[in-house]
Chain A
Amino acid sequence: MSDITKQSLTELVESIKNKKLSSSEVTKAFIERSEKSKVLNAFITEDFTSALDKAKKFDQKPNLNLKLPGIPMAVKDLFCTKNVKTTAGSKILNNFVPTYESTVTENIWSEGAILLGKLNCDEFAMGSSNETSFYGNVQNPIDKDLVPGGSSGGSASAVAGQLTPITIGTDTGGSIRQPASFTGTVGLKPTYGSCSRYGIVAFASSLDQAGPMAQNVKDCALLQEVISSFDTKDSTSIDFKRSHYSKDLTNNIKGKKIGIPKEYRVDGMPKEIEDLWQKGIEYVKDCGAEIINISLPHTSYALPTYYIVAPAEASSNLARYDGVKYGYRADGENLIDMYEKTRSEGFGAEVQRRIMIGTYVLSSGYYDAYYLKAQKVRRLIKNDFDEAYKKVDAILTPSTPSSAFKIGEKTNDPVSMYLNDIFTVPVNLAGLPGISIPAGHDAKGYPLGLQIIGKAFDEQNILNIAFAMEEKINFKNKITDWWIK
């Protein structure tokens, strides 16, 4: 029984299709392990009883032609799930029960998967360590008191800790790729417009994108195939021909041109990250790909641009939380007082900080100096990638400037926390797909990731490169089950 949770998604699908395992057996195994793993604090809401019912129903009349037949899975608590509480990691949505389903999760259930519960995340996905969640820190299964990264920290922890075979996160500036890197798992941020944003609690609408997280590249490809769809309910959803990402997955990347951007060699980057990157370069060469040195000259402007654009969009998106239509309401002497107290008590410190930055950069007299300026620099960053892609098919970089850090280590210095996303943020600003794969360990034995960035809509290509590299790297995640007594 205990071995069930060690299996990859692909293996589980195979076992259910061959009737070696039933959906009930699989679902029960993940629930039992989750019950023993409360210390990780990966779940905000558990939906175990209902999951077992659904698994039983599936087994009575199994449809084995589906892509995720009877597969149990938990999802980030940023996706609205009908009749299941959705909090976005915030007190202000502490009692919010959606009456509708997000398109991405709808796609997942219609392929046969079963909801296990909702996973912890930074409040409104604003954070890089899962420490801003109203529902508490998440532990990284790699080591005690280590952050799992963020904002999809609960998702990363649950996949690495084998509480769910796969999951979905969201990525606005690195929120899938950075936690994947910190936990030794695979995370894909798709092209902007690939996965519908309908029913996802909005943070920064021009950057937000849902994506798969898994133990390996193949599982990631399969889940991407399920969640990516054109959706008329999201006006920024893009109608393009989507590949059969898992079926078309190949490790043949011979002749592919891989760019190495010199600007990602940042000051103060630990030698082990530099070495890992070099190893990655050797791996892709071994696979027959060609390495080309490139320049993305505006890289160092990406984070300052992001910290204008994202808070500006967040300040408008989060204006809806006013204590009137849903969520938390504080008592006030009058309407304005009620708004101000509701938002002051309902939002945590980081969310308030970002709303205030956003409000300031959009306010009268500062719009041109900050917001308009940032939109212009965003164009320059996108142009850098457009230029590079005239010469290369994909770009290889480290995923993060360091391995996972201790809980509490960076909470008092917002800027040092923001620097975590230095390699991932440019990808969101340019709307491109990026995948992080585990590629090695640092001296402490903590996992480190490499990122492959693709052209827009070229997920298949970066999945293929990741698949080929994965074979060469042969990464083994060091999970000791330290939290299970």
Chain B
Amino acid sequence: MSIDLKTIKHISKLSRISVDDQRAKKLVGDLNSIFDFIEKLNELKTENVKPLTSIAETTLKLRSDEVQSKNIREQIIKNSPQDNEDYFVVPKVIE
């Protein structure tokens, strides 16, 4: 298997990380060497193995659905790069 420049551009779009051509070319090399290394897993037959999705196989504890933190809007907004005190502000999305 080999990852080409087109695939890198596609992953970059899915990841919402813009990469220029020079960086994309470097990533082709990096990701191919990493996937060569990962391919080792294909040596193993795993048809009948149950995937391990959680290491602590316990059931989630239930709790009552009550508000724990009240009136923290100011705290939540505090770290935003741009806000108008009530909302997060983003570039215009509707023309």
Q: Which A residues fall within an 8 A CB radius of B?
A: 95-97, 99, 192-193, 206, 232, 235-236, 238, 298, 300-301, 303-305, 307-308, 315, 319, 322-329, 332-341, 343-344, 347, 352-353, 355-357, 359-360, 363, 370, 372-380, 382, 413-415, 418, 430-431
Contact = CB atoms under 8 A, between A and B. Distances in A.
B34 A414 contact: yes
B67 to A, nearest CB: 15
Which 6 pairs of residues, A with B, have the shortest CB-CB distance? A431-B55, A375-B51, A326-B79, A329-B81, A340-B18, A379-B52
A235 B37 CA distance: 33
B22 interface: no
Interface in B39-84: 39-44, 46, 49-56, 58, 60-61, 63, 72, 75-76, 78-82
B93 A334 contact: yes
Contacts of B7: 360
B16 interface: yes
B79 A328 contact: no
23 contacts: A96-B79, A97-B78, A99-B78, A192-B55, A236-B56, A298-B44, A304-B40, A307-B34, A315-B15, A323-B81, A325-B76, A325-B79, A329-B82, A336-B16, A343-B18, A353-B30, A356-B15, A356-B17, A359-B11, A360-B31, A363-B11, A380-B44, A380-B49
Given A238-B58, A353-B31, A430-B55, A376 B15 contact: no
B91 A373 contact: no
Contacts of A376: 46, 49-52
Nearest to B95: A334
Contact of B90 (A301, A338, A415): A338
Interface centre among B3, B15, B39, B51 (most CB of A within 10 A): B15
A383 B37 CA distance: 23
B92 interface: yes
A103 to B, nearest CB: 14
Given A235-B60, A322-B16, A326-B80, A357 B34 contact: yes
Contact of B37 (A304, A340, A379): A304
Contacts of A347: 17
A334 B16 contact: no
Given A343-B16, A359-B11, A99 B75 contact: yes
A99 B69 CA distance: 12
Given A326-B79, A341-B18, A360 B11 contact: yes
Contacts of A329: 81-82
Interface residues of B, number: 50
Question: Which of A193, A232, A304, A315 has the largest number of chain B CB atoms within 10 A?
Answer: A304
A382 B14 CA distance: 32
B75 A304 contact: no
Interface string B1-21: 001000110011011111100
A356 B27 CA distance: 9
A380 B14 CA distance: 31
B82 to A, nearest CB: 7
Given A96-B79, A192-B56, A379 B18 contact: no
Contact of A304 (B41, B63, B90): B41
Given A325-B88, A353-B31, A363 B14 contact: yes
Contacts of B52: 375-376, 378-379, 382
A401 to B, nearest CB: 15
Of B51, B52, B88, the most chain A CB neighbours within 10 A belong to B52
Contacts of B18: 340-341, 343-344
Contacts of A235: 60-61
Contacts of A95: 79
A468 B16 CA distance: 51
A225 to B, nearest CB: 21
A235 B7 CA distance: 36
A380 B17 contact: no
Contacts of B27: 353, 356
Contacts of B31: 353, 356-357, 360
A344 to B, nearest CB: 4
A193 B55 CA distance: 9
Residue with the highest number of chain A CB atoms closer than 10 Å, among B38, B92, B93? B38
B86 to A, nearest CB: 14
A364 to B, nearest CB: 9
Nearest to B15: A359
Contacts of A355: 15, 17
Given A343-B17, A357-B31, A370-B38, 5 more contacts: A95-B79, A193-B55, A232-B61, A326-B81, A339-B16
